[in-house]
Structure 1
Amino acid sequence: MAENTEGDLNSNLLHAPYHTGDPQLDTAIGQWLRWDKVLLDPGNTCEENRKGSCPQQASADEEDQQISSYNENPKTKEQIENLLRNGMNKELRDRLCCRMTFGTAGLRSAMGAGFCYINDLTVIQSTQGMYKYLERCFSDFKQRGFVVGYDTRGQVTSSCSSQRLAKLTAAVLLAKDVPVYLFSRYVPTPFVPYAVQKLKAVAGVMITASHNRKEDNGYKVYWETGAQITSPHDKEILKCIEECVEPWNGSWNDNLVDTSPLKRDPLQDICRRYMEDLKKICFYRELNLKTTLKFVHTSFHGVGHDYVQLAFKVFGFKPPIPVPEQKDPDPDFSTVKCPNPEEGESVLELSLRLAEKENARIVLATDPDADRLAAAELQENGSWKVFTGNELAALFGWWMFDCWKKNKSRNADVKNVYMLATTVSSKILKAIALKEGFHFEETLPGFKWIGSRIIDLLENGKEVLFAFEESIGFLCGTSVLDKDGVSAAVVVAEMASYLETMNITLKQQLVKVYEKYGYHISKTSYFLCYEPPTIKSIFERLRNFDSPKEYPKFCGTFAILHVRDITTGYDSSQPNKKSVLPVSKNSQMITFTFQNGCVATLRTSGTEPKIKYYAEMCASPDQSDTALLEEELKKLIDALIENFLQPSKNGLIWRSV
């Protein structure tokens, strides 16, 4: 039998049926190669962009013209062909026979070829599903429009860059005569929900994978309220996507971004209005103008530099000193192993050394899409204190309530004031609320739940001062209904400047907060696990620990007082044994409350292959022996890992945070 040439192979690949021995896979391969296209310039003769001749003039037949305008995407097509050529059917099946599901208010995955990856085709399919669902939900969809923003992931020349995926998102909607507010430049993620609200759009999408590895990208969805989507919208959108998998005529036409009169650029208007709204949470501008404190800011190769600079100007500060190697966008995140400031001092190395050189005491770090904030402070002994998300939240909670008290109107009622946190976050706001008289509420993990609850509270005339999640996500005020690293950065700067006038550091103020409201000592970390069945078996074992449908009563020597299982809706602390928080069947999460005052939660990540643990020792103000509290917490965490997670048995890979 004659050996196939490359041309013969390509011809065979492009003409189904395929014979992998798996009919489902053969169908999926055919669909992918048939649907995955790229728009061709009729005058383009570049062989890399078109494998075959490109017509130099329009066909008389409209359908033929439509077909001739597109060709296979050479980059993604090559990935599938290589897998076919090498008989890698398992990887082909993993890529083509399953679809991404909505995780944390959207989609997030690696960039590459396949229906389970982020790429041109899956973004088009997702947007077609969005269009179908929004058309059903809003009779005025084509009057109000849709917002699209993007970060700096992927090379601009790459078929998976955030900018290109944003243009394709816009193109699908423009082709259906929907007005699209497409930012002409990369923006922080908070700008998209802010724009949705201000422009009264029906929804919005941000193309970002936040602080994930450089190979990933995502598609984050916001509803008309400006909050991330929650159930049932996520499930209904997914259904609509599955009904619209074949690209429509015009969906690939990203030229519409340059030619359609329905495309608008909201950048200048939204940036101006956002900065104006920042003034609502600025309380000491005159003091800021005079401060001698110096700040260093790193944007982690992402979008944050320009916007944090503007925010500092609004608050009256001199510009923060940028880390030169990290201030400009770099999709390779070339100076850090991981573009996540939550990882602590190891990834803040450049900013800390610059701060020492510049005699700056405070370092602020926004993640690549600028919705999270990390902060560090130089101590008298020359070491750096990198605050955890829970510690920063204690400072924010004190600060926002203190500013409210000093600036409240005469008829303001503390009983109308609220602060919120996710259930895996520190309970310090609860302790402050109990003493000061305002309300504290918990939500499920994820800012989509916080945003949704804030909307309910605002509609009922309540005032929300602050909300947070322990993974360095903070919201000061309610101008945005998602975590916001830009506003959080400038609020920390103002807080530090105010404390400086009293010769108090941030760390010293944190101790004062704990002395008044009780020490809250927490530890959060995670294990990597790439086998979903293993993760499921770990949690099922906890639900059937000593006998069927029985949760553990001890963890080592530590007695368990209550168990709450969000996955099943069980809560032993409630009279009816049902959880007050909503059931979340698609994720694993069990919380144990111990008799010694510790609260520990095990949960899976919505976006990464992780089992996370969160443990906090909640002490009363009269318990001031922090060494004893820390030792007790350490022993309990060791017992939790050994007895419940069993990493050596289950092949878990530990990561310290």
Structure 2
Amino acid sequence: MTSGSKPVSSPSMTVDEALAAIDQACQEKKLTAGAVENIRSWLTEDRYRDYRDQTIQHIADGMWQKLDDVFWTIIPFGTGGRRGRMYEIGSNAINDRTIGESAQGLADYVVQYHGGAKQLSCAIAYDTRHKSRHFTELCAGIMVAAGFKVYLLDDYRATPQLSFAVRHLNCDCGIMVTASHNPPSDNAVKVYWSTGGQVLPPHDKAIIDGVMSCQEIRATPFAEAMADGRIEVVTDQIDAAFIDAASQCAFEGSRDVKVLYSPLHGVGEEAVVPLMKRDGFTQLDVYEGHREKSGDFPNVPGHVSNPENAAVFEAPIETARAGGYDLVLATDPDCDRLGVAAPLTTDPSGEWGTFTGNQIAALLAAYVLEQTVKSGKLTERSYVIKTLVTTELVRRIAESHGARCVGDLLVGYKYIAEAMDREGPEDFVYGCEESHGYLVGTYARDKDGAVACMLMGELAAKLKAEGKSMHEYMAGLYSKHGLHRENLINVFMEGSEGMAAMQGLMKAFRAEPPKSLGGIAVSQVRDYGSATILNVAEGSTSPLEGPSGNLVIMDLEMDGNYVAVRPSGTEPKVKFYVFTRLEAAESQDASAADIKLSDRLRAIEEDVRDFARLHS
């Protein structure tokens, strides 16, 4: 039995009456077939007995829309673990049952994998979200009951600190309770392997199989395990060791820059501030409006703490402009992603602008590579890593410095972590993804907003000493490598109907792709699901080398212009990544080049949205 299930009075109908009611509701199209199947399981199977009365009461109250929302499917493991809206019951919701299954499935698989050959251990951390501490106690109790020693970061801490803790303490696995940048309604668990990276094949499938077949959740009471030492609090130890390790990634140079930092109501202050102070930043302040640790994210637009959203910077920028700050940094609630704003010129009182995830990726790539060359540490084996949907500007910057770029990767930082270990961590320089995730150093195997803040502060100080703004530095990269413009289009498709629409849309892009986008012919379609390349003009196919996943890339006839399409692994939406580029020779007139690519992006987006409406 798990804790946290909500007691209700005796239900007003029997199980048989409830079963008949859901069948009737399905006939009346108030419930989907998937919801009926999952509700039936929760009513009749003994493993869901703790939630039976609540489920029956929902049926008796005719809460059909809510029942369909939380039962129409079984919440999956995506690119960031098992994530979704919290609700007390439901196979498609985050609750004690679905979180408990996740921890139990992980525990059972790790025990089976090691075959009792060693004492097992697991590191666990959590963020500021609602019920994060409750779910942490549940997960810890489950791991202890399975025979694990649990190392607990018993305060709000960053996801990269959990990744570091797994490695530092030689743990067999790790659990981070967070829903990253999702709305306040959501929570999740991210599951980590002994590498410090999120689980990969074949472990992910085996864990999922364990989750899906979980019959009984066995948990030791949290207080009991704390009292007898089976749960050990390691917060201070990991804090100190993490700062020691991450600070080794610093480069020499000026620190004369005034920085305003926002944790966006999350955990970042405990990681970012001590790290940047260790690196010599003395003019660092935390933006008070976002300092409160709150799962409601009260002072950000829409209560969504996402550094991808330029609107979260509006209030901090006003403070920065009035206070003469040179840079505004923001990390998401679990501090694994970074957003940046800076003055357009060297005058902080003037106009400011934010940077996209791809632009930050390029800025940090250029800075880290320049400094690595300057320090004499770049070798012929040195490499950077990016995903398939991250700007190719990173590749061009890397190659201009004589470094390799490993870029044929699916979305998800776990694939960057995997590539680090495959290619050799000793030669790793920098990893990035367009969704604002960055890492240097080998102390972790996940993106780290804290170290990214430190490096961005160093770059800002270097540029200030040179009399140059961050935006002017970005313009210089475009002048050298060609103007790159990217855009992300999200098309939300909620519920069971949305899932069917997503599947239909992906099928259409594979089988009947558009002939042109934005007035530019589509030359080929790379289908990473079937590992084939479709020649659109000829209708012929050829093999595609690369990773396997639900990703389609449509290459346009103009080099460097393409559109990638994939369903989100964490939210009910299809994501369209639009990439455009001009050659360096066409990019010297910055204003004209920007207008040209902005018009191209708009035209491509219109065609993409029209195609999506027609085929979903």
Cα distance in 2 for partners of 1:16, 1:150 equals: 41
Task: State the 1:11 CA deviation.
Answer: 6.6
Deviation per CA, 1:73-116: give whole Å up to 9, x if none: xxx965x3542122345643553463221101410011112122
Match of 1:571 among 515, 533, 542: 533
Amino acid at match of 1:446: G
Q: Which residue of 2 aligns with 1:346?
A: 311
**Is it true that 1:444 corresponds to 2:457 in the alignment?**
no
Letter in 1 for 2:200: T
Map of 1:395 onto structure 2: 363
- Which residue in 2 is equivalent to 1:253? 221
Which ranges in structure 2 are unaligned for 5 or more consecutive residues? 1-6, 24-35
Counterparts of 1:560 and 1:14, CA distance in 2: 56
Q: What is the distance in 1 between the residues matched to 2:310 and 2:18? A: 54
Distance in 2 between residues matched to 1:145 and 1:389, nearest whole Å = 35
Verify the 8 A CA contact 1:125 1:244 in the aligned structure 2.
Answer: yes
Give the superposed CA RMSD.
Answer: 2.8
- Of 555, 563, 577, which aligns to 1:600? 563
Letter of the 2:146 counterpart: K
Q: Does 1:557 align with 2:522?
A: no
Identity of aligned residues (%): 27
Structure 2 residue 390 is the aligned partner of structure 1 residue 425 = yes
Which SS does the other structure have where 2:525 is aligned? strand
Q: CA deviation at 1:222?
A: 1.0
Q: What corresponds to 1:29 in structure 2?
A: 42
Distance of 1:263 and 1:609 partners within structure 2: 36
Question: 2:506: which partner in 1?
Answer: 539
Deviation at 1:209, TM superposition (A): 0.3
Query: Alignment partner of 2:77: what SS?
Result: coil
1:655 aligned partner: none
- Report the CA distance shift for 1:371/1:515 in structure 2 as closer, same or farther (over 3 A): same
Deviations 1:478-499 (A, max 9, x none): 2221111011011111111112
Equivalent residue, structure 2, for 1:329? 293
Cα separation, 2, equivalents of 1:141 and 1:84: 48
Please state how far the C-alpha of 1:35 moved relative to its aligned partner: 3.8
Q: Which of residues 230, 236, 245 in structure 2 aligns to 1:268?
A: 236
The letter of the residue matching 2:492 is: L
Is the 2:160–2:336 contact (alpha carbons within 8 Å) kept by the matching residues of 1?
yes
Letter of the 1:398 partner, please give it: A
- Mapping of residues 232-631 of structure 1, within 5 Å: 232-248=202-218, 251=219, 253-284=221-252, 287-288=254-255, 291=256, 293-318=257-282, 320-336=284-300, 337-379=302-344, 380=347, 382-409=350-377, 413=379, 415-442=380-407, 443-458=409-424, 462-530=426-494, 531-545=498-512, 551-555=513-517, 557-572=519-534, 577-584=542-549, 587-595=550-558, 597-624=560-587, 625-631=589-595
Contact 1:390 / 1:425 at 8 angstroms: preserved in 2? yes
Match of 2:92 in 1: 116
Question: Residue 155 of structure 2 contacts residue 235 of structure 2 at CA under 8 Å; is this kept in 1?
Answer: yes
Query: In structure 1, what residue type is equivalent to 2:524?
Result: H
Q: Matched residues in 2 for 1:588 and 1:485: separation?
A: 27
* CA separation of 1:128 and 1:141: change in aligned 2, threshold 3 A: farther
Residue among 133, 147, 159 paired with 2:123: 147
* 2:580 match: secondary structure: strand
After superposing the two structures, state which structure 1 stretch, 83-92 or 183-192, moved more.
Answer: 83-92
Distance in 1 of aligned mates of 2:259 and 2:117: 44
| Structure 1 contact 28–97 (Cα < 8 Å) conserved | no
The 1:540/1:576 distance shift into structure 2, 3 A limit, reads closer
In the alignment, the residues of structure 2 paired with residue 465 and residue 184 of structure 1 have an alpha-carbon distance, to the nearest angstrom, of: 32
- State the alpha-carbon separation in 2 of the partners of residues 472 and 637 from structure 1: 21
Shift of 1:199: 0.8
Pair 641,456 (structure 1): closer, same or farther in 2 beyond 3 Å? same
Q: AA paired with 2:466?
A: M
Answer whether contact 1:19 1:26 (CA < 8 A) is retained. no
In structure 2, the CA distance between the partners of 1:404 and 1:116, relative to structure 1 (3 Å rule), is same
Tell me, in whole angstroms, the C-alpha distance in 2 between the residues paired with 1:350 and 1:472.
20
Q: How far apart, in 2, do the equivalents of 1:489 and 1:457 lie?
A: 26
Aligned residue for 1:198? 168
**Is 1:211–2:181 an aligned residue pair?**
yes
- Secondary structure of 2:119 counterpart: helix
Quickly say closer, same or farther: Cα 1:577–1:26, change in 2 above 3 A: closer
Aligned 8 A contact 1:344 1:386 in 2:
no
Report 1 or 2 for greater relative contact order, CA contacts < 8 Å, sequence distance ≥ 6.
2
CA distance in 2, matches of 1:141, 1:162: 32
Q: Which runs of 5+ in 1 are unaligned?
A: 1-5, 38-71, 155-160, 546-550, 653-657
What SS is found at the alignment partner of 2:295? coil
The one-character-per-residue Cα deviations of 1:194-219 (angstroms, maximum 9, x if unpaired) are 11111111110101000000000011
The answer as to whether partners of 2:8 and 2:53 remain within 8 angstroms in 1 is: no
Q: Distance in 2 between matches of 1:556 and 1:389?
A: 23
By how many angstroms is 1:184 displaced? 1.0
* Deviates further, 370-379 or 563-572: 563-572
Distance of aligned partners of 1:256 and 1:242 in 2 relative to their CA distance in 1, 3 Å threshold: farther
| Cα distance change on mapping 1:602 and 1:628 into 2, 3 Å | farther
1:100 and 2:75 aligned = yes
- Residues 201-258 of structure 1, C-alpha deviations (whole Å, 9 max, x = no match): 111010100000000001101111111112222211111112223223xx26233343
**Larger-gyration structure (1/2):** 1
Secondary structure at 2:487's aligned position in 1? strand
> Counterpart of 2:135 in structure 1: which amino acid?
L
**Letter matched to residue 123 of structure 1:** I
**How many residues in Structure 1 have an aligned counterpart in Structure 2?**
585
Deviations 1:50-86 (CA, angstroms, capped at 9, x unpaired): xxxxxxxxxxxxxxxxxxxxxx7xxx965x3542122
- d(CA) in 2 for partners of 1:255, 1:35: 25
| Amino acid aligned to 1:526 | N
Counterpart Cα distance in 2 of 1:31 and 1:632:
61
Query: SS of the residue aligned with 2:373?
Result: helix
Residue 10 of structure 1 pairs with residue 23 of structure 2:
no
> For residues 189 and 7 of structure 1, do their structure 2 counterparts lie closer, same or farther at Cα, with a shift above 3 Å needed?
closer
